[in-house]
Copies of this chain bind each other. A is one copy, B any other.
Amino acid sequence: MAVTLIVNPGSSSKKYALYVDKVLTLSAYVEKAENGGYVFCASVRGVDSLPGIPVSAAEYHESLDTFLSVAVEKKLLAEKVMVTTIALRIVAPGSYFQRHRVVDVEFVRELEAMIGSAPLHIPHVISELQAIQRLLPKVRTVAISDSAFHRTMPDMARQFSIPAETQGRYDLYRFGYHGLSVASVVRRLHAVTGEMPKRAIVCHIGSGVSVTALRSGLSIDTTMGYAPGSGLMMGTRAGDLDTGALLALMQARNLKPLDAQAFLQTQGGLRAIASEADLRLILDRRTKGDKEAILAVDTFVYQIQKAIGSYLVALGGIDQIIFTATASERSPILRSLICVPLEAIGVTLDTDKNEMCLGRDGVISTFTSPIKVVVMKADEAGEILALAEQVGVE
């Protein structure tokens, strides 16, 4: 019996999934609750939701134990040690992390060295690795890269225009992220739309935001570059800021690189403009005429639209635009704000279809729209499951 435990520590929440012989038996997410603590929400076989369990900030690092206990309690697993493979999603810059790998001592050392570049992501991964070491020390653990999908990017998109020697020595390349999310979309695209488009654009809009250009399902460019804070503005991440402005700020405030990085990743984005990072709340404020919310949403939408335009040219046309990740899946208003002005390039949204597509896969453009617009749930867990078996075997 193959029992795979999937651990997906995100920047603002984490997810677990348990597969027995490739069948999902238990899944859970832990996210911030309104009282400042967290809430642990599990569901059996993806359908039966269990009552939420409050988790204090101090207990947050013990969520894995909670998850395994629920699995045993619900008789989905005879004992915790029945797990045969653990697969972790890894978000970290570096050529080393652009491959899926077996977790060993070297891996942990490489990961710790990268904390400064992904301060929102790596500390959570290390915390989960410690929990695994404590609870299931003998289980084979693999690291599934969130960047590996973008290895097909050509040099003109992957490299910076700084000397090759500098890029090589310090391993500075545009690695890209959200690769598992985009790969999960590509894998199911034919099943949902009946087509495998030659030229597609995937907009991943969650607490992280990126836009990826796909040629026949392979990544040719993506907005996130070296670190997961780059590219478009996000919940708390500033996205690209021109280097002159950053350097002027560092000089004026005497900021060290790590401080600057933390500032850009936690105090930027929607939070910087609208004083909060939750797009749902900001969209609500926008409808009431709140000026900060209007500017935040305008800027957020504008940056996504510009990325779509740039990839339209890179691909020489667009067959499909696919929206994925939480905000994409749940917000018809957001999709409409992005798509309606894209009429000039061949997008015609179907208002009814758009409003009825909530938290499920579907096409939201009109029957005659030259560019098809699709909403798809990101299935990072399914993607990780498929990849976990191959790691170390290839």
Give residues in A with beta carbon < 8 Å to B: 93, 116-118, 155-157, 159-164, 166, 170, 172, 174, 225-231, 233, 238-253, 257-258, 260-261, 263-264, 267-270, 272-273, 295, 298-299, 302, 305-314, 316-317, 341-345
The reply to whether A313 and B308 form a contact with Cβ atoms under 8 Å apart is: yes
The reply to whether B316 and A310 form a contact with Cβ atoms under 8 Å apart is: no
Task: Report the Cα distance A91→B311, complex, angstroms.
Answer: 31
**19 extra interchain contacts, Cβ-Cβ under 8 A, other than A170-B252, A247-B258, A313-B345?**
A118-B244, A156-B299, A157-B302, A159-B273, A160-B245, A161-B268, A163-B272, A172-B248, A226-B244, A238-B243, A241-B243, A246-B246, A247-B260, A305-B310, A306-B311, A309-B312, A309-B313, A312-B313, A316-B341
The reply to whether A312 and B314 form a contact with Cβ atoms under 8 Å apart is: no
The reply to whether B241 and A229 form a contact with Cβ atoms under 8 Å apart is: no
The reply to whether A260 and B243 form a contact with Cβ atoms under 8 Å apart is: yes
The reply to whether A162 and B317 form a contact with Cβ atoms under 8 Å apart is: no
A170, chain B: closest CB distance, angstroms: 5
The reply to whether A162 and B241 form a contact with Cβ atoms under 8 Å apart is: yes
Task: Report the Cα distance A264→B316, complex, angstroms.
Answer: 31
The reply to whether B172 and A313 form a contact with Cβ atoms under 8 Å apart is: no
A24, chain B: closest CB distance, angstroms: 34
Which residues from B are CB-within-8-Å of A345?
Answer: 312-313, 345
The contact sample of 20 A-B pairs, CB cut-off 8 A, is A93-B244, A116-B248, A118-B244, A156-B298, A160-B268, A162-B238, A163-B267, A225-B244, A244-B261, A246-B246, A248-B257, A305-B310, A306-B311, A306-B313, A307-B310, A309-B310, A309-B313, A313-B342, A317-B344, A345-B345
The reply to whether B243 and A273 form a contact with Cβ atoms under 8 Å apart is: no
A2, chain B: closest CB distance, angstroms: 37
The reply to whether A241 and B295 form a contact with Cβ atoms under 8 Å apart is: no
The reply to whether A238 and B160 form a contact with Cβ atoms under 8 Å apart is: yes
Closest CB pairs A-B (n = 5): A227-B244, A309-B313, A230-B242, A306-B310, A226-B245
The reply to whether A251 and B257 form a contact with Cβ atoms under 8 Å apart is: yes
Task: Report the Cα distance A23→B198, complex, angstroms.
Answer: 57
The reply to whether B246 and A229 form a contact with Cβ atoms under 8 Å apart is: no
Closest B residue by C-beta to A231: B242
The reply to whether A264 and B229 form a contact with Cβ atoms under 8 Å apart is: no
With A162-B264, A172-B249, A229-B244 known as contacts, the answer to whether A156 contacts B305 (CB < 8 A) is no
The reply to whether A245 and B258 form a contact with Cβ atoms under 8 Å apart is: no
Closest B residue by C-beta to A237: B161
The reply to whether B257 and A250 form a contact with Cβ atoms under 8 Å apart is: yes
Which residues from B are CB-within-8-Å of A252?
Answer: 170
Which residues from B are CB-within-8-Å of A298?
Answer: 155-156
